[in-house]
Chain A
Amino acid sequence: MAYREIRTTRANNVWGTVKRTFSYIGEHNKWKMIIAIICIILSSLTGVASSYFFTPIINNYIVPYIGEANPDLTGFVWMLVFMGSIYLGGVICTTVYKKLISIISTGMLYDLRKDLFNKMQDLPLSFFDRKPHGQIMAYYTNDIDTMRPMVADAFPTLVNAMTTVIGCFAMMTYLSWKLMLLVLISVGIMVWFTSSVAKSSNKYFALLQKQVSNINGYVEEMFSGQKVIKVFNHEEETLAGFKKYNDELYINSVRTNLVSSMLFPVNANLAYFAYAVVAVAGAKFLIEGNITLGALTSFLLYVRQFTGPVSQLSQQFNGVMMSLAGAERVFGLMDMDPEINEGKVTLCNVLEDKEELIETQNKTHRWAWKMPDRNLVELKGDVRLKDVTFAYNEKKTVLKDVSLYAKPGQKIAFVGSTGAGKTTITNLLNRFYDINEGTITFDGIEIKDIRKEDLRKSIGMVLQDTNLFSGTVMENIRYGRLDATDEECKKAAELCNASSFIERLPEGYNTVLSANGSNLSQGQRQLLNIARCAVADPPVMVLDEATSSIDTHTEKLIEKGMDELMKGRTTFVIAHRLSTVRNANAIIVLEHGEIVERGDHDDLIANKGRYYQLYTGKAELD
């Protein structure tokens, strides 16, 4: 079963990725980061110092006074006050760095999300068509969030661990270098143990990811077909299949966790082991007078202290690995090539003055193409395809040598079975995809010379998938033209007969549509789609199965409005329902990417060819 691609869990270019991740801390947060680092170091040093204080306290302020009736404790008190102020400084440093790291890391995620999203908006449509939507979502819901621990947890822990370890060892060496050597031995064992555990868990880790994606795929497929499962009493079998994957995952996740769950207790107790060894040896030194009681107390505290941050660091190993893998995926997306947009010709409104076209900022319902040399060519809506060949991938040609034309104001219809290439043609007109061979011209200008934004503004699309945005009905209509007034939106809704159902909604035009308009019927959503396109008032329109879910009765009602809408505009129509295409100026019948018939309805019926078959239902169409 070919489920989604298995997401890699290991980064390839570790240093490059780390550097790039940290570059997202950004210029404006650079000073915050430097202050944070200083605070982390200071706070760790406070910890190191706190253990050392026992040496002077015991040696200078306690032991000398043992047994005295009236000891002079002012020095002791001052020592404690001194300790207290250092501690307070440490607490402040900790608070400051934690707050700063929180600001820096959340800011970093914000920048990453924003950059990624901005980048994504500029990617070609093929990206969205090829990648499952769940996988694109995962960049944001999973990958970006996994990048945070690298900066927010692992980095401070690293600085803290380094400072603490260096500080502790420096102090231990200072207190007694002989005892320090004993500690080093147990550290060696710890490092060896940790790295061998990490190695063996790596192996299972990759397998684990694969099994998780198996479960993902299975649940996705089964729940998508849950209704069919019900109808066929197939619940038991579905469950049995699920249990198989679930058990596999269970066995392997036990194995993976087994090794890593031993890491923490074993390392913690190795530290105790070192503690015991040092205690015995220290006692011997103490008797021999090689070490003071205070120094031994401090030393023993250090033995426990330095292992803390190190084991914290080792616990973050897997997290960092996941961070890196996530970062690599995110940066991979950021490095993708954006849509090619090399055109220079732009679109503008014009008015005619003494038979000459003049560019204007006003809405005149007349447009012109502005050539790079500032010449204006009136937009008439003459669209021509010449010998167009196109393939989504090398394996399969979707369109072969397609030539056709639409004269200004004409209605051209495409019919044919699924996969014949109808939608593909419309995707080529506005350059969702680029053609491989041939030319497409718009009023004589090759479309690749037109700036993409302007090309797309000139073509209004009403698509079969009734995609609406959350927000009010009004906002959804206005999506077609952001500066449209309420009146203009309402007029557009009236034109395509959407106003009658909108006014019956509880809040009328202010009704908030839930995710993708699920509180409306499919047909109602299609009406809104049409209204959205009407408000945009584009010179050319593409209607791709725009009325497929509107019942025949309603379709009749909106027919007049649609005719009104199409008047004076070149329109390309794809329709399943042949009654919709009957009055087109030309009907183009496509089969396997080639034009097999063309002509108007009467011609084609008279021909008794493919169209006739389709129309009378003798051939399969969907």
Chain B
Amino acid sequence: MYKLLIKYTKDGWWAAILGPLFVILEVVFDTIIPYLMSLIIDTGITQRGGDIDYIVRVGGMMVVCAILAGITGALSGVFASIASCRFIRNVRTAIMEKIQTYDFRNIEKFPVPTIVMRTTTDMRMLRMAYVSIVRMLVRTPLNIIMSAYMAIKLNKSLAAIFVVVIPVLGTGLALMIILSRPRFIAMMHRFDDLNGQLKENIEDIRVVKSFVREEHEKEKFSLVSWMVTKAQRYAETMVIYDDAFFQFVMYACMIAVCWIGGNHIITGSMTSGAFMSFLAYLKAILMSLMGVSMGIMQVVMANASVSRANEVLSEIPDIDDSNADPELQVENGNIEFRNVSFKYSKHAEKNTLSDININIRSGEVIGILGPTGGGKSTFAQLIDRLYEISEGEILVGGHNIKEYKLHNLREAVSMVLQKNTLFSGTIEENMKWGNPEATHEEAVEACRIAQADDFIMSFPKQYESELGQGGSNVSGGQKQRLCIARALLKKPKIIILDDSTSAVDTDTDHRIQLALKEKLGNMTTIIIAQRVSSVKEANRIIIMNEGKIEDIGSHDELLERNTVYRDLYETQMKGVQE
């Protein structure tokens, strides 16, 4: 928490300093007031026998102090809110910045809603904790020190009470934190269980309803919900006892002060004015200590938010291009895999890809077929260095991909992902993702190749049509063609189409491939597909299965020698030729 705090206060440091500074002034003025009170009673009334002028003068000072304390207090509030808002703004930006450096493996780790939560709800918690911490670090100790100093000044032997009380309260507080922390953490876990089950129920509501399992689900939910309630009660018990303990100590102090102070007054070693002020300081100290326990609770609760933020911030991308040569550009579309093996996690038993060797020449069209989970997409994503390979090396344009800056590599290797996304905005805006400097003509040209221009022109607003979040305003096949056009606009050396024409009819699919060949003959094209018809005309077709290249060859070669391919071809084509 504190590390985060210091790191992200950076540009708000002036507010972060001014805030506590005004707090110091406020506390000083606040502390003077009870002392002035004792002057009124002891000097004004008792010693000078009712000197009204003196009393009014001192009273005036009290009023001035109160006003000054009010102003400085308000200012400290202003600066605290500026500092705290800046702080969370910076953390939020840092999270978003960090996410942008993630590789695919990192991205897969975090479900979307948790990221959303981290940038909103968690940040609110963090802001509150920030304010509490600043307050706790500055106001409380200062308040205690100042009040204790004044109390000692008023009567040393009476102030000895603090020597007993403060360690007792401190121990109580420490004990409470130590004991209740694990309970609160357990409570958070129960909340996670509840949310998990809830999410499942909402997502699977069709299953629930079609199997008529509403009652079953109600029972399940009632159980996890009760676990939350139990955990909540268990966690809060400590806090309640701690509160009671505090109150008990406070009252015990009052009685002790009355007794000792009373005796002092009777023997004449303390004035009654001093006694009154002493009571005020005693209360100030006890209240500050009570505030500490509340502040600590807030920090404990914010801890979960902090660790969630840290989880995102401390995630280390595997892929590092800091040693790459920024000048190095991809010259051509040659691709070479040398003994490449890959697994998604270090702990995984099985390689997702093992011992891949292949040489693809610039301008070649390569088709990849194979069962789901066979490693097709992984193979393609490695070319763009979206994951880091475990063994071997991959060369693009004659250089190891690790020698390129990621930016340069990805500019040259354009990828249409299987699960592709369009963003809210117009078609034209989405196209420009590929190349922000592209002209309208270039965008149209890319759309023509991807066979998207026709349907775009049929929309009333054409290239200015709004796509909606996730491209919800166009059909699946149209979306895929827009995604291809967007990727083409980059003018890449290599394009990878990962199952990106599955919703496009074969004729259009065929036309896309013809256009690609005709207009962009030098570009290496890798097509991953389910349909044999999508890859039939490729120079070579790779059959991938269980992470290995099973066979490579042209359509005719494979048809002759590869039974899997022949099977696939026949099932898909049967009926047409009949």
Q: Say whether A283 contacts B44, CB under 8 Å.
A: yes
Q: Residue B168 at the A interface, CB < 8 A?
A: no
Q: Say whether A456 contacts B417, CB under 8 Å.
A: no
Q: Say whether B507 contacts A140, CB under 8 Å.
A: no
Q: Say whether B411 contacts A233, CB under 8 Å.
A: yes
Task: Please tell me which stretch of B94-102, B178-186, B329-337, B360-368 contacts chain A, meaning at least 4 of its Cβ atoms lie within 8 angstroms of it.
Answer: B94-102
Which residues of B sit under 8 angstroms from A552, Cβ to Cβ?
A: 371, 567-568, 571-572
Task: Please tell me which stretch of B72-80, B439-447, B519-527 contacts chain A, meaning at least 4 of its Cβ atoms lie within 8 angstroms of it.
Answer: B72-80
Q: Residue A334 at the B interface, CB < 8 A?
A: no
Contact among A95, A134, A277 with B116 in the assembled complex (CB-CB below 8 Å): A134
Contact among A94, A284, A582, A616 with B244 in the assembled complex (CB-CB below 8 Å): A94
B8 CB to closest chain A CB (Å) equals: 13
Q: Say whether A417 contacts B433, CB under 8 Å.
A: no
Interface size for chain A: under 10, 10 to 19, 20 to 34, or 35 or more residues? 35 or more
Q: Say whether A137 contacts B198, CB under 8 Å.
A: yes
Q: Say whether A280 contacts B40, CB under 8 Å.
A: yes
Show 11 A/B contacts (Cβ-Cβ < 8 Å), sorted by A. Answer: A73-B263, A98-B240, A232-B433, A233-B406, A250-B85, A283-B41, A286-B45, A287-B50, A480-B211, A516-B200, A552-B571
Q: Residue A177 at the B interface, CB < 8 A?
A: no
Interface residues of B in 227-265 (CB under 8 A from A): 228-229, 232-233, 236-237, 240-241, 243-244, 247-248, 251-252, 254-255, 258-259, 262-263, 265
Q: Say whether A617 contacts B40, CB under 8 Å.
A: no
Interface residues of B in 106-157 (CB under 8 A from A): 107, 110, 112-113, 115-116, 119-121, 131
Q: Residue A191 at the B interface, CB < 8 A?
A: no
A251-271 CB contact bits vs B (8 Å, 1 = yes)?
Answer: 001100110011111101110
Q: Say whether B209 contacts A456, CB under 8 Å.
A: yes
B377 CB to closest chain A CB (Å) equals: 11
Q: Residue B475 at the A interface, CB < 8 A?
A: yes
B210 CB to closest chain A CB (Å) equals: 4
Q: Say whether B30 contacts A272, CB under 8 Å.
A: yes
Q: Say whether B232 contacts A106, CB under 8 Å.
A: yes
Q: Residue A621 at the B interface, CB < 8 A?
A: yes
At the interface, is chain A mostly helix, strand, loop or mixed?
helix
Task: Please tell me which stretch of A25-33, A354-362, A459-467, A563-571 contacts chain B, meaning at least 4 of its Cβ atoms lie within 8 angstroms of it.
Answer: A459-467
Q: Say whether B266 contacts A417, CB under 8 Å.
A: no
Q: Residue A562 at the B interface, CB < 8 A?
A: no
A581-615 CB contact bits vs B (8 Å, 1 = yes)?
Answer: 01000000000000000000100010000000001
Q: Residue A90 at the B interface, CB < 8 A?
A: yes
Given contacts A91-B244, A98-B240, A114-B221, contact A620 B214 (CB under 8 A): no
B140 CB to closest chain A CB (Å) equals: 15
Q: Which of B232, B417, B436 has the most CB of A within 10 A?
A: B232
Q: Residue A16 at the B interface, CB < 8 A?
A: no
Given contacts A247-B89, A605-B575, contact A273 B63 (CB under 8 A): yes
Q: Say whether A91 contacts B247, CB under 8 Å.
A: yes
Given contacts A223-B112, A254-B82, A264-B77, contact A620 B218 (CB under 8 A): no
Which residues of A sit under 8 angstroms from B209, Cβ to Cβ?
A: 125, 430, 432, 456
Given contacts A219-B116, A283-B59, contact A94 B107 (CB under 8 A): no
Q: Say whether B92 contacts A246, CB under 8 Å.
A: yes
Contact among A58, A122, A219, A250 with B86 in the assembled complex (CB-CB below 8 Å): A250
B476 CB to closest chain A CB (Å) equals: 4
Q: Residue A207 at the B interface, CB < 8 A?
A: no
Enumerate the 8 nearest inter-chain pairs by beta-carbon distance, A residue then B residue, closest first.
A265-B73, A617-B506, A280-B59, A622-B503, A276-B62, A261-B77, A269-B70, A225-B421
B179-218 CB contact bits vs A (8 Å, 1 = yes)?
Answer: 0000000000000001111111111111111111110111
Q: Say whether B243 contacts A94, CB under 8 Å.
A: yes
A467 vs B469: C-alpha distance when bound (angstroms): 24
Which residues of A sit under 8 angstroms from B407, Cβ to Cβ?
A: 233
Interface residues of A in 458-489 (CB under 8 A from B): 459-461, 463, 465, 467-470, 479-480, 482
A291 vs B159: C-alpha distance when bound (angstroms): 29
Q: Say whether B85 contacts A257, CB under 8 Å.
A: yes
Q: Residue A249 at the B interface, CB < 8 A?
A: yes
Q: Which of A142, A224, A237, A417 has the most CB of B within 10 A?
A: A224
Given contacts A80-B258, A227-B107, contact A283 B66 (CB under 8 A): no
Q: Residue B384 at the A interface, CB < 8 A?
A: yes
Contact among A231, A250, A276 with B59 in the assembled complex (CB-CB below 8 Å): A276
Q: Residue B533 at the A interface, CB < 8 A?
A: yes
Q: Say whether B386 contacts A230, CB under 8 Å.
A: yes
A-B contact count (CB 8 A): 426
Contact among B45, B204, B276, B415 with A467 in the assembled complex (CB-CB below 8 Å): B204
Q: Residue A87 at the B interface, CB < 8 A?
A: yes
Q: Residue B514 at the A interface, CB < 8 A?
A: no
Q: Residue B305 at the A interface, CB < 8 A?
A: no
Given contacts A247-B89, A620-B503, A622-B503, contact A215 B578 (CB under 8 A): no
Q: Say whether A118 contacts B218, CB under 8 Å.
A: yes
At the interface, is chain B mostly helix, strand, loop or mixed?
helix
A416 CB to closest chain B CB (Å) equals: 12
Which residues of A sit under 8 angstroms from B476, Cβ to Cβ?
A: 418, 622
Given contacts A66-B268, A99-B240, A233-B410, contact A254 B99 (CB under 8 A): no
Q: Residue B339 at the A interface, CB < 8 A?
A: no
Q: Say whether A616 contacts B212, CB under 8 Å.
A: no
Task: Please tell me which stretch of A293-301, A385-393, A400-408, A437-445 contacts chain B, meaning at least 4 of its Cβ atoms lie within 8 angstroms of it.
Answer: A293-301
Q: Residue A216 at the B interface, CB < 8 A?
A: yes
Q: Residue B170 at the A interface, CB < 8 A?
A: no
Q: Say whether A106 contacts B229, CB under 8 Å.
A: yes
A522 CB to closest chain B CB (Å) equals: 7
Q: Contacts A102-B240, A221-B469, A456-B209 given; 17 further ones with Cβ under 8 A?
A: A102-B237, A113-B228, A114-B222, A117-B198, A246-B96, A263-B77, A269-B67, A273-B66, A430-B209, A463-B210, A480-B211, A515-B199, A552-B571, A556-B571, A605-B578, A618-B505, A620-B477
Q: Residue A169 at the B interface, CB < 8 A?
A: no
Q: Say whether B262 contacts A231, CB under 8 Å.
A: no
Q: Residue A369 at the B interface, CB < 8 A?
A: no
Q: Say whether B69 contacts A269, CB under 8 Å.
A: yes
Interface residues of B in 406-420 (CB under 8 A from A): 406-407, 410-411, 414-415, 417, 419-420
Q: Say whether B505 contacts A621, CB under 8 Å.
A: yes
Given contacts A66-B268, A469-B204, contact A553 B371 (CB under 8 A): yes
Q: Residue A6 at the B interface, CB < 8 A?
A: no
Given contacts A91-B247, A275-B66, contact A300 B37 (CB under 8 A): yes
The residue on B at minimum CB distance from A417 is B475
Q: Residue A128 at the B interface, CB < 8 A?
A: yes
Q: Which of B209, B469, B506 has the most CB of A within 10 A?
A: B209
The residue on B at minimum CB distance from A213 is B120
Given contacts A98-B244, A233-B410, A275-B33, contact A128 B202 (CB under 8 A): yes
Contact among A67, A228, A246, A247 with B268 in the assembled complex (CB-CB below 8 Å): A67
Q: Say whether A265 contacts B74, CB under 8 Å.
A: yes
A143 CB to closest chain B CB (Å) equals: 13
A504 CB to closest chain B CB (Å) equals: 12
A58 vs B264: C-alpha distance when bound (angstroms): 12
Q: Say whether B116 contacts A220, CB under 8 Å.
A: yes
Which residues of A sit under 8 angstroms from B233, Cβ to Cβ?
A: 102-103, 106
Q: Residue A158 at the B interface, CB < 8 A?
A: no
The residue on A at minimum CB distance from B475 is A418
Q: Residue B378 at the A interface, CB < 8 A?
A: no
Given contacts A219-B96, A279-B59, A283-B59, contact A94 B505 (CB under 8 A): no
A552 CB to closest chain B CB (Å) equals: 6
A236 vs B469: C-alpha distance when bound (angstroms): 20
Q: Residue A491 at the B interface, CB < 8 A?
A: no
B170 CB to closest chain A CB (Å) equals: 19
A193 vs B82: C-alpha distance when bound (angstroms): 22
Which residues of B sit under 8 angstroms from A35, Cβ to Cβ?
A: none
Which residues of A sit under 8 angstroms from B508, Cβ to Cβ?
A: 620
A220 vs B433: C-alpha distance when bound (angstroms): 18
B298-322 CB contact bits vs A (8 Å, 1 = yes)?
Answer: 0000000000000000000000000
A249 vs B85: C-alpha distance when bound (angstroms): 9
